[in-house]
Structure 1
């Protein structure tokens, strides 16, 4: 499932890889329980022999202690040359300049991607070695470690649920096994895939004689989903059988989380248990244990509150299984990665489960607690809080429409390049830096943020588009008088460079003072952190404006700016508080230093043209409809500012012309705290979404499903 280098043709001679085409590779080393990195030097592929490769050994440099990143997966993966270690292969014949060379089977190698020099130059903080002496890999060390370990297991045949059953079945007395197990019908009703149902039914038959069972369950979630397969996997193993224990794994999709994977592991373990069994489940997820007890109590109190629990379809199924099989279940917390043999087996099974080609899904139309279920796009069941879930989906859709607007092409590119931190930027757009919630100044601050971020400041090109009879195509920049004044040109104009530069030096000094008074660590290098960051370095060195600096001018919080704070502040809560206050100061400073200086020139020019403020507010009164129509038709279409045509930005949130036919209606309906009593709204549902009653052949229940 991982990318492997191609095997060279069989040849009696050693294939030496040219220096320019040497590839970066890694491999899992079982006796070290870790991976090794290297640059591929040569490969031997002799007849009747397993191909063997040699690589120059590079080692992972851990900078997590001094890094601005707090989690291992977000720490840059930096490699430096190994100066010699016990893994060195002394009998290598070839280029002997590398000080450490490792011999590895060619089939065990996995290709890596090293980032270009520019990415290394932008890295902050940078390791204390020259640029040419270290390499920066695309993904984190834990990501490659997991990928190599999974590949190691897959190559040894542990990649399929077909292998979950033991070679020697546990000792059992078949006379105690009933002819028809209650599990059979239960598994058939719950799981829609035939192969998964058959596998679980076989396990249920094997476990039928055992009343007391202990399981170790685990879930795996890979947020990057860098490997082929699914982002979630689950697995479990029995731990109290004599001869050999049974293991099982599978994959999951939709609304990925580690807790959901853990919950599915518990569900599939319980469904194979014998009737009236006494079950102990060991899990390393306290969240799963808490949700188990919470859902157990809530479903008898209020269906509405039960349906607000995350993964409520899985918890409905779990309690349905426990009740149907009359099980006595006890969940115990076990510490993760504590050296427990069975917990490690469950962990391996969960990671392997992500590679299963068919994800496990639950048929929920017969579950007593699922009185209503929303199906998004007739495919994805919403087993979370309806209000929050639909809100999240619609917000993503609106954000996608927002970024796909032709006028915001530059913002979309910055988003693709991971320059913008949207989580903090969204908080900044809603931040009130004034003491009064109804302050007029706050209204002006919010208007400034919206106009800057959507590139709709009233520059001459926009004024000419909206008031052509007043501006009359006089759109040359007020500073340089050579280019059309647009929102993009405003910040890129060479005549504004010194003004913008002095503003950034001033903002940099403010940030230095702010961090010195609040820093939790590395207080001696605060000035260097700021003066050498991409956001401010260009201003202190009089270089061209860096693209990240433009984001600050447009009222966005960049990942680089966040990195400065994370280098010196420990908690994210404290960072958010400081960065919001700092952005408020920067916004006011930019507006006063740059925009107001531009407005002074505009007022002088406006007076020279004989135009007043009332000329804009009374535009429709001064010019007749025919005049305005003729001006609009005669105005040439200008292709500029990354637009297909000069149409400007229109806020998609304010377009309610087709409101009744829009699926946002569903969100408003179910966002209401009393939506179950909103009977008058249901007369409109046939125009918004389809309402189907689904009745199973074997179920007396009649439940509603809404296809969103």
Structure 2
């Protein structure tokens, strides 16, 4: 730090810059110096520099940071910024459209910039945006309890969701980090740090992040982001293999309620796989002492907490320690394996040498007795063995239990005795002239593992009926079997990790990080070129067949027309379908097929492809702008191929379906390719590749504008939240299978339509707010009011005020039987407006009569049968819904509202009562508010119905209780007939108290 200070001071002197040294701040996570001052030599002076406190941030270029990476300074500043905006806007006469513009275009970019190095939860984001949300709801005359799904929904007038907005920013920056060559060292370090933080043998996958979400292991910025992105099914998949070998099953997911201290203990003991702490047959959990012996480490202290957790949940009993869910495959462990030595002679006779090795063809272990070892020059040493077959003594039919002391209750394989018997002949036999009657084979000496046998005389006394040709190994078959398997894995250097990418992704684009040589790139389709600079005129086309996002097939094809051969090419691919992607793929395959140092002319019917090709070729285009283009990975590869192969490429526009023979032929080939199985190309950059690629749940890479792509996903999340709100979920069912019966695009146009033609007006705010409340079923009916003010209304929800036969609700008031006859007449008037509009703007000649179609078709399908233009569709829809709103909805809501007010008046409920009720509730929910004691009915003295008794009681209790609202709220609740006189007297009493001090 001293050197850095000297360098900075020299720079200031060179540039003649005056620095206020009193503003120097020092950040440290050393608890001994936090919040204190130290003396530093700044230039030639000794200056006291203040050290910031633990949660005290420092502003650097508008971003607040601190030594402990605490989110508190940033959260505090964001809250202050939002409060400043809300206080400023509250004093202005603004409409809801003004607030939408200021929030989305001014406030959100400021919050996004200041939140570059922190990520906040949904609750924290709602806490920050609470003042603005309250202000926006007030501008639309919505209740404060209106669901956030209504004010953040993209189909409605809405403000941006801050939580989603921070996700857009962070995912774009994360993609830039892992796709910029200059930042690759930092990106690789962060990736390995994240893997070490979770203590996984591989970079966390989609399934891993789903399991880790409930834990509190994510502490770094990148790990938190990965978990949040995974909630939207976006996973960053590494291109480089960071897999740690040595086991199959990660230990992390077998420890219940894992904590950071458990991870630290595992890291100190270098335990990362379940294979390291279970028995060789994958059936038992080892004791702590056995783990020490297997790891050959002298761990000190008591058994760790994570082991105690596993003993409580992962094994049946602590006596036998059998696993409840053992792994299906053999564990990979560190065995002490003895291999035979290579003897000096060319042919060596072996005596009493027993081996076991792993046969990958049969996927099992094979036993053998050594016969000879043959060593020839420049060839590996080979050992001839006699094949022996393994079995268990208790399962052998030749063994007589009655004359033996063996346990007959040996049920599990671990309790059974392993025996070896000579093989009588099998497919592994290699014929030998010297020993034709025994089953022999030749095995590479280095792949054999040695083991020993028990003394035959000792085993004969233990098992009197055992046959002389039976052999008894000193180790159990399960141990030897696992030892042979681990020896085979070490020799072949296999990948031990369970981590495998999804098959849909592993064969897709942008996965393999392979560097292509110029010779490989020059390989083409064996096109015959007549001279060095060969001119190609290639007609190409792309075709798309839609069948779902991940099932759609895109066909690409091109036709070479410069030579007489007229070579053709066609292929298909899938994932993130678009016709433009198919055309770009056709261009890519064209560039791959072209020889080096040639001139390629491409004709296409897509002006968009030509414009993007010219735009991508600009040298001043930054990496961030390139990644905002659709199919940017293909475009990057196209230009790198052009540069490496020294190609000159020109593109020309051809009118589609104009009768051009070559263009029609390419179009036909592309459509035929859609009928074939898609071929997934393993495409990568042959220069420096990205560290990680964003993928859609490992289905394939996302090579589009990642910010807009995530925005589409969050729109679906918001849409689902709206459909699952308590008021709307009964309409669409638990599976939401009825939501497509509504034309949501026309609904969006209808809600956005102004009632008076102006963009901003108070009347339009009220009109739009009424539409939103009507859409969300949150109009203030009796059932809603009872939820908001339970103590002011009767104990249970009341029936409809008009018909008094059905429970009051938002779904009933418009269908009330009280105005059934009038409603039919109004319906006919609205239908006449619709029929007249359809006949006036009719565009499809074969459409049926509007009078007949109205009675048989839903509204959206009905308009589509008559009109093609979307603008005209919106015009007709708005005309019909305007008539429906004026003649039915607002008409009958006014009737209901008038009856509702009369009902409230009969109960002596006024607006003042509701306001005081809300005020008391807000005071009770404030964290620093300590309410005064509440008076009960029985605490009223006799005669409190008189004004003098009430006044006397108020004076007796004192002003402290009065200011808390207790006395006032009490009398408002229990003396309805005295409310107005009481309120006036209390206000006068307060004025007198203020005058008298």
Query: 1:432/1:273 Cα in 2 relative to 1: closer, same or farther (>3 Å)?
Result: same
Q: Hey, what does 2:985 align to over in structure 1?
A: none
CA contact (8 A) 1:237 1:248 kept: no
Per-residue CA deviation, residues 588-635 of structure 1 (Å, 9 max, x unaligned), is 4333222111112212222222222223222245789599xx9xxxxx
Going from structure 1 to structure 2, the CA distance change for 1:520 and 1:372 (only over 3 Å counts) comes to same
Count of residues paired in the alignment: 411
Q: Which of 817, 820, 823 is the aligned partner of 1:497?
A: 820
Secondary structure of the structure 1 residue equivalent to 2:650: strand
Residue of structure 2 in register with 1:595 after alignment:
893
Shift of 1:416: 4.2
Contact 1:475 1:484 in 2 (8 A): yes
SS at match of 2:801: coil
Give, in whole Å, the separation in 2 of the partners of 1:205 and 1:527.
Answer: 60
Matches of residues 15-414 of structure 1 in structure 2 within 5 Å? 192=511, 204=524, 206-207=526-527, 209=529, 211-225=534-548, 229-243=551-565, 245-254=567-576, 256-297=577-618, 299-301=619-621, 305-337=625-657, 340=660, 342-354=662-674, 355-360=676-681, 362-363=683-684, 366=687, 381-412=701-732
Q: Post-superposition shift, 1:406?
A: 4.8
Q: Which one has a bigger Cα radius of gyration?
A: 2
CA-CA distance at 1:493 after TM superposition = 4.0
1:206-253: CA deviation from partner (whole Å, max 9, x where unpaired)? 248573333332212123449x94342323343344446242302131
Instruction: Establish whether residue 441 from structure 1 lines up as the match of residue 739 from structure 2.
Output: no
CA distance in 1, matches of 2:656, 2:847: 37
Q: Secondary structure at the match of 1:435?
A: coil
For residue 362 of structure 1, report the CA deviation from its aligned partner: 4.2
Q: Per-residue CA shift, 1:445-502, capped at 9, x if unaligned?
A: 2222222222222222222222222222132122332222222233444444334333
Is the counterpart of residue 418 in structure 1 residue 740 in structure 2? yes
User: Partner of 2:792: helix, strand, or coil?
Assistant: helix
Aligned residue in 2 for 1:480: 803
Change (3 A) 1:231 1:462: farther
3-state DSSP class of the match of 1:251?
strand
Q: 1:376 to 1:193 in 2, by over 3 A?
A: closer
Q: Tell me the equivalent position of 1:605.
A: 903
Secondary structure (helix, strand or coil) at the match of 1:458 reads coil
The answer to whether structure 1 residue 460 and structure 2 residue 782 are counterparts is yes
Name the TM-score, length of structure 2 as normaliser: 0.37
Alignment of 1:626-641 (within 5 A): none
Match of 1:53 in 2: none
1:424 and 1:595, CA in 2 relative to 1: closer, same or farther beyond 3 A? same
| Secondary structure of 1:232's aligned partner | strand
Contact 1:278 1:328 in 2 (8 A): yes
Instruction: Measure how far apart 1:202 and its partner are.
Output: 10
Q: CA deviation at 1:403?
A: 2.3
Deviation at 1:258, TM superposition (A): 0.9
CA gap 1:417/1:621 in 2 versus in 1, 3 angstroms: closer
Residue 567 to residue 278, structure 1, CA distance change in 2 (3 Å): same
Query: Does the 8 Å contact 1:252/1:261 carry over to 2?
Result: no
**C-alpha distance after superposition, 1:249-294 (max 9, x if no partner):** 021312x211121111111221221111221223232322232233
Q: In structure 2, what is the Cα distance between the partners aligned to 1:375 and 1:434?
A: 47
1:619 is aligned to 917
Q: Secondary structure in 1 aligned to 2:901?
A: helix
Distance in 1, matches of 2:628 and 2:566, equals 41
Tell me by how many angstroms 1:192 deviates.
4.1
Q: d(CA) in 2 for partners of 1:380 and 1:399?
A: 25
d(CA) in 1 for partners of 2:633 and 2:754? 39
DSSP 3-state at the match of 1:321: helix
Whole-angstrom distance in 2 between the partners of 1:403 and 1:524: 34
Q: What SS does structure 2 have at the residue aligned with 1:476?
A: coil
Compared CA separation, residues 447 and 466, structure 1 to 2 (3 A): same
Residues 250 and 353 in structure 1, CA contact (< 8 A), matched pair in contact too = yes
User: 1 CA distance for matches of 2:758 and 2:513?
Assistant: 62
Secondary structure at 1:501 match in 2: helix
Aligned ranges for residues 534-549 of structure 1 at < 5 Å? Answer: 534=857
| Structure 1 residue 572 corresponds to structure 2 residue 892 | no
The separation in 2 between residues aligned to 1:443 and 1:430, in whole angstroms, is 11
In structure 1, distance between residues paired with 2:512 and 2:568: 21
- Give the secondary structure class of the aligned counterpart of 1:487: coil
Residue ranges of structure 1 left out of the alignment (5+ in a row): 1-187, 535-559, 631-708
Is 1:457–1:487's contact at 8 Å kept on the other side of the alignment?
yes
Q: Is contact 2:555–2:573 with CA below 8 Å preserved after alignment?
A: yes
| CA 248–515 in structure 1, closer or farther in 2 if over 3 Å, else same | closer
Distance 1:530 1:608, change over 3 A: farther
Q: In the TM superposition, what is the alpha-carbon distance from 1:443 to its structure 2 partner? A: 1.5
Could you say which residue in structure 1 is the equivalent of 2:752?
Answer: 430
Cα distance between partner residues in 2 of 1:359 and 1:617? 65
Distance in 1 between the 2:693 and 2:511 partners?
Answer: 17
Say if 1:233 and 1:351, in contact at 8 Å, map to a contact too. yes
Is the Cα contact below 8 Å between 1:217 and 1:235 reproduced in 2? Answer: yes
Over aligned residue pairs, what C-alpha RMSD do you find? Answer: 4.2
Give distance in 2, aligned partners of 1:291 and 1:620.
58
Partner of 2:435: none
Moved more, 596-605 or 424-433: 424-433
Residues 318-369 of structure 1: CA deviation (Å, up to 9, x unaligned): 222222222122223344445555444433443344443553464359579x
Contact preservation (8 Å) 1:281, 1:329: yes
Distance change (3 Å), C-alpha of 1:361 and 1:409: farther
8 Å CA contact retained: 1:512, 1:526: no
2:855 is the alignment partner of 1:532? yes
Alpha-carbon displacement from aligned partner over 1:79-113 (angstroms, at most 9, x marks no partner)? xxxxxxxxxxxxxxxxxxxxxxxxxxxxxxxxxxx
Cα distance change on mapping 1:334 and 1:415 into 2, 3 Å: farther
Q: Which residue of 1 aligns with 2:884?
A: 586
TM-score by length of 1: 0.50
Q: Which moved more, 1:352-361 or 1:453-462?
A: 352-361
Question: Structure 1 residues 244 and 527, CA, compared in 2 at 3 Å: closer, same or farther?
Answer: closer
Residues 260/433 of structure 1: CA separation in 2 closer, same or farther (3 Å cut): farther
